[in-house]
Amino acid sequence: MRRRLTLLVAATMCLALLAFVVPLALLLRTVAQDRAVVAASADAQSLVSVVGTAEQDALRFSVEHMAAESRGPITVFLPDGSVLGTPAPRTSAVQLAARAGVSRTVERPDGREIVVAVMGRPDGTAVIRAFVPAAEMTRGVARAWLVLVGLGVSLLLLGLLVADRLSRTLVAPIAELSAVSHQLARADLTARAHPVGPPELREVAGALNHLAGRIQELLREEREQVADLSHRLRAPLTSLRLEAESLADGADAARIAVRVDAMERAVTGLIRQARHRRDTYTGAGCEATASIRDRVAFWTVLAEDTGRAVTLDVSASGPLPVGVPADELGAAVDALLGNVFAHTPDGTAFAVTLAPRSGGGAVLTVADDGPGLSSDQVRRGASGGGSTGLGLDIARRVAQSSGGRLDLATGPTGGARVTLELGPPSPGPRPQGPS
């Protein structure tokens, strides 16, 4: 935009300067020509009275004196054929003036000739000839043109400088608005634009700041609603804990209490996350191996009750740091394993594999021997089994937040194969342990 404004000003000023300089240059040339012709005519006219009345010697002196002071040659042709002043041939204009007594100005290739017929002499008609060379008619014109060109270039540069300064006052606020909008798109809701520049840009900056503040308010209200909803689950969980403690079978009571504790930890984590989490992870990560083992161990208890064989394969020889917090990774694993239990019949085996990812991070694969699932079930809210359809979407968003992705495929036995690629943690806080 800044370049376009400068080019627009340059084009406008060039047109204006051409419309001003070209006519002025032509006028200067015409004025110079007229000045030279008028001066020569005045010199010739000043000799008319002398030529008509003076004696030969006085006339010779006056003509030679005038020829010496004049810028161009001045010649007097007497009726007896003698020539006074600057030697010059008798041109056709001189002959016509001597014969018919006609005074005139004649344009010639090398200049302009002015002849004045002086009648009344006893011996006949005398002719005064003043000649203006072409160089005299253009004397000073080239210098005036150079001055005009220099003035035009100076005005053009000055105009470009002013246009550049003015364009900066327009472009800088627009660039700041663009930067603030990109910050808001990256979930930095604290970014604000400074209302500077023209009134229209100040109004846009104010509207953008109002939009950012409104987004913050809406997100705050949404998080509070999620936290309130999660908090309401505590009462049923407390009732379940009391029911579990009242069971006569101690093993069943302990098993149910463990599951209630896990659910209560999940609800507590959801409340904490809703109140304090930002929209981006800001580089937080965790060690994937410990988190995966912890969640698989939790689901193994339910797998034993439903007759499912569980296989856990961790091929990494060391820790596998990934770019998602431990609670987010646990939620993704719970979503994937929950889909296995929800969409496959009891007794269906499944396997969990964790391997290093090329370039850092880890690759988590959950494969089962069930009927499989279609790729359209990765859409948020889409489910063919009567569930909410959010499980795969949760896993997908966790993967994308670390720079990875989620892939659906069919396993060797025909069941579903879900691959979750998790990117490495970005520079920032140290990886967390499992929550």
pLDDT digits (tens), the chain, 435 positions: 778 888 888 888 888 888 888 899 999 999 988 998 998 889 888 888 888 887 777 888 888 888 888 888 899 898 888 888 888 888 888 889 888 888 888 888 888 999 999 887 888 888 999 999 888 888 888 899 999 999 989 988 998 888 888 888 878 888 888 898 888 888 788 889 888 888 888 898 899 999 988 988 888 887 777 766 665 676 677 767 777 777 777 777 777 777 777 777 777 666 666 555 544 444 468 889 988 998 899 888 888 888 899 999 997 778 889 988 888 888 888 889 888 888 888 899 999 999 999 888 999 999 998 887 654 554 444 444 444 356 788 888 888 888 899 999 888 888 899 999 999 987 654 444 444
Q: What is the pLDDT of residue 368?
A: 92
Model pTM score: 0.45
Q: Which helix (H) or strand (E) holds 367?
A: strand 362-368
Look at residue 204 and tell me if it is in a domain.
no
Q: Which helix (H) or strand (E) holds 225?
A: helix 199-232
Q: What is the pLDDT of residue 366?
A: 93
> Which 3 state secondary structure label does DSSP give 302?
helix
CA distance 432 to 236: 30
CATH code for the domain in which residue 17 is found: 3.30.450.20
Q: Give the residue among 300, 319, 344, 302 at the shortest CA–CA distance from 432.
A: 319
Look at residue 207 and tell me if it is in a domain.
no
Residue 94's alpha-carbon distances to 50, 55, 63, 91, 119, in angstroms, are 19, 22, 17, 5, 14
Residue 149's alpha-carbon distances to 14, 86, 155, 254, 309, in angstroms, are 12, 39, 10, 99, 93
Same domain, 304 and 341: yes
Q: Which of 280, 310, 336 is a domain's end point? A: 280
Same domain, 123 and 256: no
Backbone angles phi and psi of 86, in degrees to 5 = -75, 125
Same domain, 292 and 312: yes
Q: Which amino acid is at 196?
A: V
Look at residue 435 and tell me if it is in a domain.
no
191-230 burial, b at 16+ Cβ within 10 Å, e below that, comes to bebebebeeebeebbeebbeebeeeeeeeeeebeeebeeb
Look at residue 150 and tell me if it is in a domain.
no
CA distance 177 to 367: 48
DSSP 321-345: EESS-HHHHHHHHHHHHHHHHHHS-
Same domain, 276 and 390: no
Same domain, 387 and 274: no
Q: Which of 99, 115, 142 is a domain's end point? A: 142
Query: In the numeric block, which tokens belong to residue 354?
Result: 């964790």
Same domain, 305 and 328: yes
Look at residue 353 and tell me if it is in a domain.
yes
Query: Is-contact 116 48, C-beta < 8 A?
Result: yes
Q: What is the pLDDT of residue 273?
A: 63
- The CB density around residue 337, as the number of other CB atoms within 10 Å, is 23
CA distance 432 to 94: 114
Nearest-Å Rg of the Cα atoms of the chain is 51
Same domain, 275 and 298: no
Give me the residues paired with residue 405 across strands: 421
Look at residue 380 and tell me if it is in a domain.
yes
Q: What ranges make up the beta strands (E) of 88-170?
A: 104-108, 111-121, 124-133
Look at residue 198 and tell me if it is in a domain.
no
Q: What is the pLDDT of residue 310?
A: 92
CATH code for the domain in which residue 382 is found: 3.30.565.10
Q: Which amino acid is at 151?
A: L
Same domain, 360 and 258: no
> Which 3 state secondary structure label does DSSP give 365?
strand
Backbone angles phi and psi of 130, in degrees to 5 = -115, 130
CA distance 288 to 227: 27
CA distance 286 to 320: 8
CA distance 137 to 157: 33
| Domain around 250 | 233-280
Same domain, 91 and 116: yes
Q: How many domains does the chain have?
A: 3
Backbone angles phi and psi of 365, in degrees to 5 = -125, 130
Under the phi-then-psi rule, with left for phi > 0, alpha for psi from -120 to 50, and beta for the rest, what region is 417?
beta
CA distance 193 to 191: 7
Same domain, 248 and 337: no
Please report the sign of the dihedral spanned by the C-alpha atoms of residue 394, residue 396, residue 400, residue 402: positive
Q: Which of 223, 257, 280 is a domain's end point? A: 280
Angle at 242 between CA 241 and CA 244, to 5 degrees: 65
Q: What is the pLDDT of residue 352?
A: 94
Q: Which amino acid is at 141?
A: V
Same domain, 321 and 414: yes
Q: What is the pLDDT of residue 81?
A: 85
CA distance 61 to 344: 134
Same domain, 246 and 273: yes
Look at residue 80 and tell me if it is in a domain.
yes
Please report the sign of the dihedral spanned by the C-alpha atoms of residue 185, residue 189, residue 194, residue 200: positive
Residue 165's alpha-carbon distances to 170, 197, 206, in angstroms, are 9, 12, 24
Q: What is the pLDDT of residue 420?
A: 93
Query: In the numeric block, which tokens belong to residue 141?
Result: 């014109």
